[in-house]
Amino acid sequence: MRPDPTPNVAGAASLDQDRARLRDFIEAHPRLFVLTGAGCSTDSGIPDYRDTNGGWKRPQPVTYQAFMGERATRQRYWARSLVGWRRFGRARPNATHRALVRLEQQGRVATLLTQNVDGLHQAAGQQKVIDLHGRLDEVRCMACAHRTPREAFQHELVQLNPAWALLDANDAPDGDADLEGRDFSGFQIPPCPSCGGIMKPDVVFFGENVPRDRVDAAITSLNASDAVLVVGSSLMVFSGYRFVAAAARDGKPIAAVNRGHTRADPLLSLKVEQSCAEALAFIA
Protein backbone atom coordinates (compact mmCIF):
# COMPACT_ATOMS: atom_id res chain seq x y z
CA MET A 1 0.00 0.00 0.00
CA ARG A 2 1.33 3.42 -0.90
CA PRO A 3 1.75 5.82 2.02
CA ASP A 4 -0.78 8.60 2.40
CA PRO A 5 0.88 11.80 1.12
CA THR A 6 -1.66 14.08 2.80
CA PRO A 7 0.46 15.01 5.86
CA ASN A 8 3.34 16.21 3.71
CA VAL A 9 1.01 18.13 1.41
CA ALA A 10 -0.72 19.71 4.39
CA GLY A 11 2.61 20.61 5.94
CA ALA A 12 3.82 22.22 2.73
CA ALA A 13 0.57 24.15 2.40
CA SER A 14 0.86 25.38 5.97
CA LEU A 15 4.44 26.52 5.37
CA ASP A 16 3.39 28.35 2.22
CA GLN A 17 0.55 30.07 4.10
CA ASP A 18 2.87 31.07 6.92
CA ARG A 19 5.35 32.51 4.46
CA ALA A 20 2.58 34.41 2.69
CA ARG A 21 1.36 35.95 5.95
CA LEU A 22 4.91 36.82 6.94
CA ARG A 23 5.56 38.34 3.52
CA ASP A 24 2.41 40.46 3.87
CA PHE A 25 3.48 41.57 7.35
CA ILE A 26 6.93 42.65 6.14
CA GLU A 27 5.55 44.43 3.07
CA ALA A 28 3.02 46.29 5.20
CA HIS A 29 5.67 47.61 7.61
CA PRO A 30 8.68 49.23 5.91
CA ARG A 31 10.53 50.19 9.13
CA LEU A 32 11.01 46.96 11.03
CA PHE A 33 12.67 46.64 14.40
CA VAL A 34 14.19 43.15 14.17
CA LEU A 35 15.00 41.26 17.35
CA THR A 36 16.97 38.03 16.97
CA GLY A 37 17.94 35.14 19.23
CA ALA A 38 19.72 31.81 19.31
CA GLY A 39 17.44 30.22 16.71
CA CYS A 40 19.18 32.33 14.07
CA SER A 41 22.50 30.61 14.69
CA THR A 42 21.62 26.95 15.19
CA ASP A 43 22.12 26.29 11.47
CA SER A 44 25.67 27.63 11.93
CA GLY A 45 26.36 24.87 14.43
CA ILE A 46 25.85 26.91 17.60
CA PRO A 47 23.44 25.16 20.01
CA ASP A 48 20.58 27.05 21.61
CA TYR A 49 19.63 27.13 25.28
CA ARG A 50 15.93 26.30 25.35
CA ASP A 51 13.45 23.68 24.21
CA THR A 52 10.14 24.33 22.44
CA ASN A 53 8.44 24.94 25.80
CA GLY A 54 10.93 27.66 26.72
CA GLY A 55 12.67 25.49 29.34
CA TRP A 56 16.41 25.02 29.74
CA LYS A 57 17.98 22.20 27.72
CA ARG A 58 21.01 22.15 30.02
CA PRO A 59 22.16 23.74 33.29
CA GLN A 60 21.77 27.49 33.35
CA PRO A 61 24.78 29.58 32.23
CA VAL A 62 27.26 30.92 34.76
CA THR A 63 26.16 34.07 36.56
CA TYR A 64 28.11 37.31 36.74
CA GLN A 65 28.22 37.09 40.51
CA ALA A 66 29.72 33.58 40.50
CA PHE A 67 32.26 34.43 37.78
CA MET A 68 33.50 37.52 39.57
CA GLY A 69 33.36 36.08 43.08
CA GLU A 70 34.82 32.57 42.68
CA ARG A 71 38.14 31.65 41.15
CA ALA A 72 36.90 28.06 40.77
CA THR A 73 33.98 29.29 38.63
CA ARG A 74 36.36 31.27 36.41
CA GLN A 75 38.61 28.21 36.02
CA ARG A 76 35.66 26.05 35.01
CA TYR A 77 34.37 28.71 32.62
CA TRP A 78 37.66 29.32 30.81
CA ALA A 79 38.53 25.61 30.59
CA ARG A 80 35.21 24.90 28.90
CA SER A 81 35.63 27.98 26.72
CA LEU A 82 39.13 26.93 25.63
CA VAL A 83 37.65 23.72 24.18
CA GLY A 84 34.44 25.25 22.84
CA TRP A 85 36.03 28.27 21.15
CA ARG A 86 37.79 26.16 18.54
CA ARG A 87 34.51 25.49 16.74
CA PHE A 88 32.54 28.54 17.88
CA GLY A 89 35.23 30.85 16.55
CA ARG A 90 34.96 29.22 13.12
CA ALA A 91 31.15 29.46 12.86
CA ARG A 92 29.89 31.17 9.71
CA PRO A 93 26.61 32.91 8.81
CA ASN A 94 23.76 30.78 7.50
CA ALA A 95 20.69 31.36 5.32
CA THR A 96 18.82 33.17 8.10
CA HIS A 97 21.57 35.75 8.53
CA ARG A 98 21.76 36.26 4.77
CA ALA A 99 17.97 36.72 4.48
CA LEU A 100 18.04 39.43 7.14
CA VAL A 101 20.89 41.18 5.30
CA ARG A 102 18.77 41.19 2.14
CA LEU A 103 15.87 42.63 4.12
CA GLU A 104 18.13 45.44 5.31
CA GLN A 105 19.41 46.04 1.77
CA GLN A 106 15.78 46.45 0.70
CA GLY A 107 15.50 49.29 3.19
CA ARG A 108 13.06 47.49 5.48
CA VAL A 109 15.16 47.16 8.65
CA ALA A 110 15.43 50.19 10.91
CA THR A 111 17.70 48.31 13.33
CA LEU A 112 18.54 44.72 14.14
CA LEU A 113 18.86 44.10 17.88
CA THR A 114 20.45 40.74 18.59
CA GLN A 115 20.63 38.80 21.83
CA ASN A 116 23.34 36.61 20.26
CA VAL A 117 27.01 37.15 21.03
CA ASP A 118 28.47 35.40 17.97
CA GLY A 119 28.86 38.38 15.61
CA LEU A 120 27.36 36.39 12.72
CA HIS A 121 24.94 39.13 11.67
CA GLN A 122 27.88 41.46 11.05
CA ALA A 123 29.87 38.68 9.38
CA ALA A 124 26.97 38.24 6.95
CA GLY A 125 27.02 41.95 6.11
CA GLN A 126 24.33 43.42 8.39
CA GLN A 127 25.06 47.09 9.03
CA LYS A 128 22.53 48.37 11.58
CA VAL A 129 23.19 46.00 14.47
CA ILE A 130 23.00 46.49 18.22
CA ASP A 131 24.70 43.68 20.17
CA LEU A 132 22.44 43.76 23.22
CA HIS A 133 24.52 41.23 25.16
CA GLY A 134 27.92 42.13 23.72
CA ARG A 135 30.33 40.05 21.64
CA LEU A 136 32.23 36.91 22.57
CA ASP A 137 35.12 37.71 20.23
CA GLU A 138 36.59 40.21 22.68
CA VAL A 139 37.80 39.89 26.30
CA ARG A 140 37.78 42.80 28.74
CA CYS A 141 39.54 43.47 32.04
CA MET A 142 36.99 44.13 34.77
CA ALA A 143 39.39 46.47 36.59
CA CYS A 144 40.92 48.72 33.93
CA ALA A 145 38.78 47.88 30.84
CA HIS A 146 41.81 46.72 28.80
CA ARG A 147 40.53 44.74 25.81
CA THR A 148 42.07 41.94 23.80
CA PRO A 149 40.74 39.81 20.93
CA ARG A 150 39.32 36.47 22.05
CA GLU A 151 41.55 34.68 19.53
CA ALA A 152 44.66 36.17 21.17
CA PHE A 153 43.35 35.22 24.61
CA GLN A 154 42.77 31.68 23.31
CA HIS A 155 46.45 31.50 22.38
CA GLU A 156 47.40 32.48 25.93
CA LEU A 157 45.00 29.93 27.42
CA VAL A 158 46.49 27.16 25.29
CA GLN A 159 50.06 28.15 26.16
CA LEU A 160 49.28 27.97 29.88
CA ASN A 161 47.13 24.82 29.62
CA PRO A 162 48.48 22.68 26.76
CA ALA A 163 46.91 19.44 28.01
CA TRP A 164 43.43 20.98 27.93
CA ALA A 165 43.92 21.90 24.28
CA LEU A 166 44.02 18.17 23.46
CA LEU A 167 40.51 17.57 24.86
CA ASP A 168 37.31 17.47 22.84
CA ALA A 169 33.71 17.68 24.01
CA ASN A 170 30.20 18.36 22.77
CA ASP A 171 29.46 21.98 21.94
CA ALA A 172 27.30 24.03 24.27
CA PRO A 173 25.84 27.50 23.61
CA ASP A 174 28.00 30.59 23.26
CA GLY A 175 31.40 28.98 22.81
CA ASP A 176 31.06 26.66 25.78
CA ALA A 177 31.78 22.91 25.87
CA ASP A 178 30.41 20.08 28.02
CA LEU A 179 33.37 19.12 30.18
CA GLU A 180 31.69 17.42 33.11
CA GLY A 181 33.53 15.50 35.82
CA ARG A 182 36.86 17.28 35.28
CA ASP A 183 39.12 18.75 37.92
CA PHE A 184 39.51 22.41 37.00
CA SER A 185 41.59 23.38 40.03
CA GLY A 186 44.88 23.43 38.12
CA PHE A 187 43.62 25.44 35.16
CA GLN A 188 45.59 28.65 34.65
CA ILE A 189 43.88 31.90 33.60
CA PRO A 190 45.90 34.77 32.11
CA PRO A 191 45.53 37.98 34.13
CA CYS A 192 45.07 41.37 32.54
CA PRO A 193 48.42 42.33 30.94
CA SER A 194 47.92 45.95 32.01
CA CYS A 195 46.88 45.70 35.64
CA GLY A 196 46.64 42.01 36.59
CA GLY A 197 42.85 42.16 36.90
CA ILE A 198 40.16 39.61 36.06
CA MET A 199 39.59 39.04 32.35
CA LYS A 200 36.00 38.36 31.30
CA PRO A 201 34.35 37.86 27.90
CA ASP A 202 32.85 41.16 26.78
CA VAL A 203 29.34 39.76 27.05
CA VAL A 204 26.51 40.30 29.51
CA PHE A 205 26.30 37.34 31.88
CA PHE A 206 23.13 36.30 33.68
CA GLY A 207 22.75 38.60 36.68
CA GLU A 208 24.65 41.42 34.96
CA ASN A 209 23.03 44.61 33.66
CA VAL A 210 22.95 45.45 29.97
CA PRO A 211 24.87 48.72 29.42
CA ARG A 212 22.49 51.66 29.47
CA ASP A 213 23.71 53.10 26.16
CA ARG A 214 22.69 49.92 24.32
CA VAL A 215 19.25 49.94 25.89
CA ASP A 216 18.77 53.62 25.03
CA ALA A 217 19.89 53.09 21.42
CA ALA A 218 17.48 50.18 21.05
CA ILE A 219 14.57 52.12 22.54
CA THR A 220 15.25 55.06 20.20
CA SER A 221 15.20 52.72 17.22
CA LEU A 222 12.10 50.93 18.45
CA ASN A 223 10.26 54.23 18.78
CA ALA A 224 11.14 55.06 15.16
CA SER A 225 9.92 51.72 13.83
CA ASP A 226 6.44 50.77 12.73
CA ALA A 227 6.50 47.05 13.66
CA VAL A 228 8.61 44.38 15.35
CA LEU A 229 9.87 41.15 13.82
CA VAL A 230 11.25 38.57 16.26
CA VAL A 231 13.44 35.89 14.68
CA GLY A 232 14.59 32.81 16.57
CA SER A 233 13.94 33.85 20.16
CA SER A 234 11.69 32.50 22.90
CA LEU A 235 12.07 35.91 24.61
CA MET A 236 12.32 34.20 27.99
CA VAL A 237 15.10 36.59 29.06
CA PHE A 238 13.67 39.93 30.16
CA SER A 239 16.46 41.98 28.55
CA GLY A 240 15.04 41.06 25.13
CA TYR A 241 11.38 40.65 26.06
CA ARG A 242 11.14 44.20 27.39
CA PHE A 243 11.36 45.64 23.88
CA VAL A 244 8.49 43.50 22.63
CA ALA A 245 6.44 44.44 25.67
CA ALA A 246 7.18 48.13 25.00
CA ALA A 247 6.13 47.73 21.36
CA ALA A 248 2.87 46.12 22.45
CA ARG A 249 2.14 48.99 24.85
CA ASP A 250 2.65 51.40 21.96
CA GLY A 251 0.28 49.43 19.74
CA LYS A 252 2.95 48.29 17.28
CA PRO A 253 2.26 45.03 15.41
CA ILE A 254 4.58 42.16 16.38
CA ALA A 255 5.42 39.05 14.35
CA ALA A 256 7.59 36.18 15.56
CA VAL A 257 9.37 33.35 13.78
CA ASN A 258 10.15 30.73 16.39
CA ARG A 259 9.57 27.04 16.92
CA GLY A 260 7.66 26.59 20.16
CA HIS A 261 6.52 28.82 23.00
CA THR A 262 7.62 32.42 23.40
CA ARG A 263 7.10 34.64 26.41
CA ALA A 264 5.35 37.15 24.13
CA ASP A 265 2.80 34.77 22.57
CA PRO A 266 -0.19 36.78 23.89
CA LEU A 267 1.22 39.96 22.35
CA LEU A 268 1.83 38.64 18.82
CA SER A 269 -0.04 39.70 15.71
CA LEU A 270 1.50 36.79 13.79
CA LYS A 271 3.47 33.72 14.79
CA VAL A 272 5.27 31.43 12.34
CA GLU A 273 6.36 28.15 13.93
CA GLN A 274 8.94 27.15 11.35
CA SER A 275 12.70 27.17 11.30
CA CYS A 276 14.06 30.65 10.69
CA ALA A 277 15.66 29.66 7.39
CA GLU A 278 12.47 28.06 6.07
CA ALA A 279 10.26 30.95 7.13
CA LEU A 280 12.51 33.62 5.59
CA ALA A 281 13.41 31.73 2.42
CA PHE A 282 11.09 33.92 0.34
CA ILE A 283 13.25 37.02 0.95
CA ALA A 284 15.33 37.43 -2.19
Instruction: Report, as residue numbers or ranges, the catalytic residues.
Output: 133
Closest CA to 85 of 193, 181, 157: 157
Q: How far apart are CA 95 and CA 153, in angstroms?
A: 30
Closest CA to 96 of 51, 39, 52, 134: 39
Q: What pairing do the DSSP bridges indicate for beta strands 254-257 and 171-172?
A: unpaired
